[in-house]
Chain A
């Protein structure tokens, strides 16, 4: 009879306790793998919030600041970019496409982004996914609006719904543009990016609602109707930022330098990928804290296993004494316990992976809907395998504690139990 067979039969004899112990380990392993999966997916999702865009250009500021307000719609721009500068840069020979962005208005707490129809053609996220419409189409009128998936879901809007934009970016608009309502013409599919929580309108629409406004307030005594506003020149004087796609990646640094040295006004051109990594490193502390907590949970799980093994030692002293009488060396007693710990950890690891995939399969839709985070059911990554291996080794080391007790006791007990 092999050592493994002996251990398996011994474990089967204590099936309830063994399964509970393995389940505790499984829970902790599922947690640590789940945290790791969410961490890596969040990082991947975050890093690919904007893809296919070579440069983001805004008024001179830090790369992270520019990224935050232009892509994540967090905070406000330090300054605007003149339309003239935008046109000049967009006309550079290396530029393949450009998409202007104008921010500053909102709808019931959701940011409104003035842009052009090119936005839908060129904006990419994730693995270069294009924006898709679940309903409707891109805007082609001054008062058309396209909703992000989250906006449509939370507010219950559909194609044809009329919405009123508010001046400012607070949840309750300081002043509504009630006289110039917009009509929903398109609803975007979920992207897991800030686009989901945005309302996109024609750049001209942003101009139209502000023709009778000055310095953030309505000009007293001046009222321009929605229809009248159409007659105005709705070319913006300034925009918040713009996205650039280049004809060749090789040109990126050259164009970036050219923009950063732009003489007409101080501008910053950032590489989205680099800025996203910088931003992620800022939030990485929380990420590491999460991983540390889950590592502690694994420790607690293994401590549970040690406790369970230790409590069985008393009742198993006779078992060890019998094995000693039959010629088993105390090392075999040690090996039995370590093997048992290894098997429990292995069972826990398998259970943990099964549990993780079960929970992922069940919750990925909910997580996508509620948090815009895409959790994949892909095979464990190298890092996840490494985590599993680390937990397994930790399980063996933890198992050595009761095994050492059993070893010493087997030496002391001999063929009879000394109390």
Chain B
């Protein structure tokens, strides 16, 4: 079902991507954008510039009006809705700005949740041992003691702790691509640095590419490369002029 081609070495490749909401003005018009495998990219853009929309396109939740989106060698625009959902479940890890976790599940249940939707990730975890052990290992790697926190309700954690649980959930089963949407905006400077250090360490271990979206340019130095949406997006008033 997946169509592989010469771009298979890229984690993400966008070609002549265009997107507009129904009955809305054009929001995104990207001629060419590439993120290589294992690369950690900082995607910077102002509020309303289409960052979250771009993430939905990368995740296969939205489809572009025109153009092509290759992720890990697969053209998402050629897949059906159900195939894109499965692809997202298999290859993506998401960390959001807030409300990352399902508050009625425990910390460990939240981390294990992606396995519910992906046989590939279940198999990846099974190769290393049992799922619960992998969840606890990730929590420990992100500086959360499983013995203390794994059974706690996710909603009872601090914001910083919740972000680390969300990171563990995004990374379980080696997704290949981690997408983070302003995950540090509600953290103070020390917590932000610690969170990113832990996140990067675990992503390198898993050889996962990272697309990190933020309007906070001070974080750019921590990444392999910075992509300014205002530069790559050609839509007047949203892209180049901002």
Residues of A within 8 A of B (CB): 1, 6, 9-10, 12-13, 318-319, 322, 324-329, 414-416
Contacts and interface: CB of A to CB of B under 8 A. Distances in A.
Nearest to B118: A327
Contacts of B1: none
A12 B117 contact: no
Interface in B80-135: 81-82, 85-86, 88-90, 92, 94, 96, 99-105, 109, 112-114, 116-118
B56 A416 contact: yes
Interface residues of B, number: 32
Contact of A415 (B59, B112, B116): B59
B7 interface: no
Nearest to B82: A329
User: 5 nearest interchain CB pairs?
Assistant: A327-B89, A13-B104, A327-B117, A414-B56, A414-B61
A327 B114 contact: yes
Given A414-B56, A415-B59, A328 B100 contact: no
A324 B102 CA distance: 12
Contacts of B96: 322, 325, 415
Nearest to A1: B116
Nearest to A15: B104
Nearest to B55: A415
Given A1-B116, A325-B92, A327-B88, A319 B62 contact: no
Interface of B: 52-53, 55-56, 59, 61-62, 81-82, 85-86, 88-90, 92, 94, 96, 99-105, 109, 112-114, 116-118, 181
A414 B99 contact: no
Contacts of B99: 318, 322
16 contacts: A1-B112, A1-B113, A10-B104, A322-B99, A322-B100, A324-B85, A325-B59, A325-B92, A325-B96, A326-B113, A326-B117, A327-B92, A328-B85, A415-B56, A415-B61, A416-B181
Given A13-B103, A322-B100, A414-B61, A1 B109 contact: yes
B132 to A, nearest CB: 12
B52 A9 contact: no
A319 B109 contact: no
Given A1-B109, A324-B61, A329 B56 contact: no
A318 to B, nearest CB: 4
A414 B53 CA distance: 8
A121 to B, nearest CB: 70
A9 B104 contact: yes
Nearest to B91: A327
Nearest to A331: B82
Contacts of A12: 104
Given A10-B102, A324-B61, 13 more contacts: A1-B112, A10-B104, A319-B102, A322-B99, A322-B101, A325-B59, A325-B61, A325-B96, A326-B116, A327-B89, A329-B82, A415-B55, A415-B96
Contacts of A414: 53, 56, 59, 61-62
A328 B61 CA distance: 10
B114 A326 contact: yes
A328 B116 CA distance: 9
A296 to B, nearest CB: 34
A327 B52 contact: no
Contacts of B94: 325-326, 415
Given A13-B104, A322-B100, A414-B56, A328 B62 contact: no
A12 B92 CA distance: 29
A189 B28 CA distance: 88
Contacts of B112: 1
Contacts of B82: 329
A325 B55 CA distance: 10
B105 A9 contact: yes
Contacts of B62: 414
Contacts of B52: 415-416
A40 B50 CA distance: 65
Nearest to A324: B61
B154 to A, nearest CB: 11
B183 to A, nearest CB: 13
A12 to B, nearest CB: 6
A320 to B, nearest CB: 10
A322 B88 CA distance: 12
Contacts of B59: 325, 414-415
Contacts of B104: 9-10, 12-13
Contacts of B86: 327
Nearest to A2: B116
Contacts of B109: 1, 9
A10 B96 CA distance: 20
